[in-house]
Amino acid sequence: MREPNSILIIFKNNVEINGEQTKEILFVQPKDKSKEVWTGKRLGELGAEIILEIETAYSNKEFNTTVFNFDNFDKVYHFPKQNDVKDNVFDKSDLHNLYLQFDSKIATINANKNDENKLLEWMSKLREIKSPEELYLMNKAISITCEAQIELMRALRPNMAEYQSEAIIEYVFKANGAEYPGFPSILGSGENSCILHYSTNRKTMLGNNLLVSDVGAEYHGYTADVTRTIPVDGHFSKEEKIIYDIVLKAQLAGIKECKAGNSFWDPNVAATSVISQELQKLGIIKSPIGVRRYFMHGTSHYLGLDVHDVGTYLPLKANSIITVEPGIYIPEGSPCDKKWWNIGVRIEDDVLITNGQPNILSDCIPKTTEEIEAAMKEKGLFSIH
């Protein structure tokens, strides 16, 4: 919902508000042609009821005078005001003032009645399991992201700037209907491939660089999150291929554990075990504990309305979506043979948990070294070679 300065009140059972029986009321900005010229069309009260299928909608200007009798309820759960909510002194019904008005309405309620953790627990359960409509939107966001990654493979070449690769990704997002990137796009090459959340994207890419492309399109509020690691010159070196294949082996082991009923952490355990064993074989680490020097993050997080979405972190459940994204990052100066320095590899897919085998929603993107090299020889939207 793109309706700022709104507040939603949900009741467990029907209550009478302003003479109406309802279980949910959304207070939204009213239609106002003079304001919509500047900021775009609003749903208004009627639009909220028709399009959002909200039972009852009122103007946010009516919130302050609407009587709720919160004292009559055993529990009132609510989230506190966020730090980034600002006061528009020209609007007495902005989100800042709606918070103040709500606080005034519950001022006489015992503060112990509000359990923010309980509310977060409920929301986590609701958002963890995706409805059919949510799965449709997630699949759309992921398919757009897949197309962007493939177009980048086709266009990538030495002496291109990281920001140019970002421009290709985000052009494909927009061209296919995504409203935004779901998070700041990560396009890190060479030494920057070893920085987990690198988003400066200013370096000129050299022919002997790997590019970590960690991106996700946001479509109607739902975001994808898919990573591929691509050789800038179209060919993996011997050392790059060795590290890449370890990460791919680890990822496949992690995905295999993405089954309903398994622990949320099972994919991480499986992937970490593979990386630890293989790095020991190469002599890059001497003992299992050394794996965290080169693989310092977990493999998985929930995905949905947020790129790191809320969830219970309890055993995996059917119709939830998680990422599986192991990586190996060997920055310059690491205590290993110099031939491994500045090799950073991450491979990430979005996985739908089912009651059977995991469904890899982003599996349409080339993933083996051979597949990636072949894709980089194809003509694409931005190909000049």
The pLDDT-based confidence of 74 (bands split at 50, 70, 90) is confident
DSSP annotation of 232 reads T
Residue 126's CB is within 10 A of a number of other CB atoms, namely: 10
* Cα(225)–Cα(204) distance, integer angstroms: 24
- pLDDT at position 384, please? 65
Q: What domains appear along the chain, each with residue ranges and CATH number? A: 7-114 (no CATH), 130-375 (3.90.230.10)
Say what the pLDDT of residue 14 is. Answer: 93
What pairing do the DSSP bridges indicate for beta strands 20-28 and 56-59? parallel
DSSP letter (8 states) at residue 219: E
Note the pLDDT of residue 188: 98
Does residue 112 register a pLDDT over 70?
no
Please compute the mean of the pLDDT values over residues 219-244 and round it to a whole number: 98
What mean pLDDT comes out for the span 89-96? Answer: 93
Q: Can you tell me the distance from the alpha carbon of 162 to that of 139, in angstroms, rounded to the nearest whole number?
A: 27
Q: How many helices (H) and strands (E) does the chain have?
A: 10, 14
Measured distance CA(286)–CA(294) in Å, rounded: 12
Please determine, for residue 107, whether its predicted confidence score (pLDDT) is greater than 80. yes
Residues 63/101, Cβ–Cβ less than 8 Å: yes
Across the beta sheet with 180-181, what order do the strands follow? 180-181, 217-219, 222-223
Range in 102-106, 140-144, 198-202 with the lowest mean pLDDT: 102-106
Question: Quick check: 49 and 79 in contact, CB under 8 A?
Answer: no
Q: For residue 79, what pLDDT is reported? A: 84
Say if residues 138 and 322 touch (Cβ distance below 8 Å).
no
pLDDT at 114: 67
Give the separation between CA 28 and CA 187, rounded to whole angstroms.
Answer: 39
79: left (phi over 0), alpha (psi -120 to 50) or beta: beta
Cα–Cα distance measured from residue 211 to residue 230, given in angstroms and rounded to the nearest whole number: 5
CA gap 141, 216 in Å, rounded: 8
Q: pLDDT for 27-71, tens place per residue?
A: 999 999 999 999 999 999 999 999 999 999 999 999 999 999 888
Question: How much is the pLDDT for 345?
Answer: 98
The separation between the first and the last C-alpha atoms of the chain, rounded to the nearest angstrom, is 43
Q: What's residue 1's pLDDT?
A: 55
Cα 45 to the center of its chain, rounded Å: 30
Q: pLDDT digits over 324-368, tens only?
A: 999 999 999 999 999 999 999 999 999 999 999 999 999 999 999
The pLDDT mean for the chain works out to 95
Asked whether the predicted pLDDT for residue 315 surpasses 60, the reply is yes
Q: Residue 151 pLDDT > 90, yes or no? A: yes
Residue 84: pLDDT band with limits 50, 70, 90 = confident
pLDDT of residue 372: 98
What share of the chain in percent tops pLDDT 90? 88
| For residue 229, pLDDT beyond 80 | yes
pLDDT at 385: 53
Between 23-37, 96-110, 190-204, the lowest mean confidence (pLDDT) is in 96-110
More reliable by pLDDT, 82 or 179: 179
Q: Across residues 111-116, what is the average pLDDT?
A: 63
Spell out the residues 6+ positions from residue 365 whose beta carbon is closer than 8 angstroms to its own. Answer: 146, 149, 150, 226, 228
pTM of the entire predicted model: 0.93
